[in-house]
Amino acid sequence: MIQAGILGAAGFAGIQLAHILSQHPDMELVAAASDSLAGTLLKDAYPAFTGVSGLEFCTSEELEAQSLDVVFLAVPHTASLEQTPRVVGAGAVAVDLSADFRLRDASVYETWYGTPHTQPDLLADAAFGLPELFPQDLERARGRHERHLPCVVACAGCYPTATSLAAAPLARAGLLREGAPVVADAVSGVTGAGKTPSARTHFCSANESVEAYGVTTHRHTPEIEQILQVSGRLVFTPHLAPLNRGLLSTVTIPLAEDAPIACTEDAQGLYREFYEGCTFVEVLKPGAQPKTASVAGTNRAQVAVAYDERTRCVVATGAIDNLGKGAAGQAVQCANLVFGLDEAAGLEAAALPV
């Protein structure tokens, strides 16, 4: 069994990692670190673990004292800059769910996150963790791990994952129109706002309401632009909706004049081919649209595509669980690939049908 630890295990992404790992056939969760909850049983903080796990949160220090094969970092940005070197220094694979190693260009990181990037060497070698779009990155990470080199996987963010899965087939094919922005309007459940109680995450504020936030300024913007290679051309607006889990990104993509797409079926063909062989991405049939509930609690993504003849745009939609394929699921999928396991190990869960 691969020995796994989680830093930031008491947050929503961290605890979802614990949930997945508690049933992973090849990984064993041996250390779940939360400096604020150290000494507390997981089940006392998250009663869904009652009867499932007797594990207790430990301190980060206690985690670092153990010999682990892989450490998942479910910590805020900048905390990962600090902790990742120690993780890889101790010989573990670092699977980072923060933003610290996602942006290839440190100056972009510094612009959007307002803080210097202190680990340029690790950044240079980090793999980008979105296996469907960057399989070679995971392949390379696996090689580094096998050769005992420092191995960092920077898992894609939740909005970037859904948005990029929806838009990548067209972007990679070079079919985007010059001079017109790509517009991604995305809706997330409230787990996306994190565990810390606040006025905004109070039930009575979030319930029965929808709102946009981070308009023109959300830090996932440069990450999506990097993935899709549309620098300076993306307008990304996230929204909060009253559900626990789920993220839907609706991407409106103006097509280049000569793009060989004249109907929805053309677009679908392109998408189906693009995602052929991908376990976790389903391209829906014409007319169907993804519901976030259909992937809640899973590492799955559903994508639909529709062609708008009037405006010569494609409207592509991608649904994921923001804590699943948008965070913990993706991290485990990446770890599976780095360790040469079945990509889907521990990730077979299907969403509840209703």
Q: Binding its own copies by CB under 8 A: which of 5, 131, 150, 297? A: 297
Interface with its own copies includes 144 (CB under 8 A)?
no
Q: How far apart are the C-alpha atoms of 2 and 348, rounded to whole Å? A: 18
Distances (CA, A) of 150 to 62, 96, 137, 160, 300: 21, 13, 14, 25, 29
Q: Binding its own copies by CB under 8 A: which of 8, 131, 169, 290? A: 290
User: Please, which of residues 323-342 interact with its own copies by CB under 8 A?
Assistant: 323
Q: How far apart are the C-alpha atoms of 181 and 95, rounded to whole Å? A: 33
Among candidates 210, 256, 217, 258, which has minimal Cα distance to 234?
217
Contact 317, 251 (CB under 8 A): yes
Q: Which is nearer to its own copies, 65 or 235 (CB)?
A: 235
Shortest Å distance, C-beta 18 to its own copies: 7
Stretch that binds its own copies, among 90-98, 112-120, 140-148, 206-214 (CB under 8 A): 206-214
Q: x/- contact string, 98-137, with its own copies (CB under 8 A)?
A: ----------------------------------------
* Strands 57-58 vs 2-7: parallel, antiparallel or unpaired: unpaired
- 158 an active-site residue? yes
Interface with its own copies includes 181 (CB under 8 A)?
yes
Q: Which is nearer to its own copies, 119 or 294 (CB)?
A: 294
Interface with its own copies includes 71 (CB under 8 A)?
no
Interface with its own copies includes 157 (CB under 8 A)?
no
Interface with its own copies includes 211 (CB under 8 A)?
yes
Helix (H, G, I), strand (E, B) or coil at 134: coil
Distances (CA, A) of 312 to 167, 174, 274, 288, 293: 15, 15, 21, 20, 30
Interface with its own copies includes 348 (CB under 8 A)?
yes
Interface with its own copies includes 288 (CB under 8 A)?
yes
Per-residue DSSP letter, 286: T
From the candidates 151, 158, 313, 334, give the one annotated as an active-site residue: 158
Angle between helices 158-172 and 264-274 (to 10 degrees): 110
Q: How far apart are the C-alpha atoms of 139 and 319, rounded to whole Å? A: 26
Interface with its own copies includes 266 (CB under 8 A)?
no
The residues that are catalytic are 158
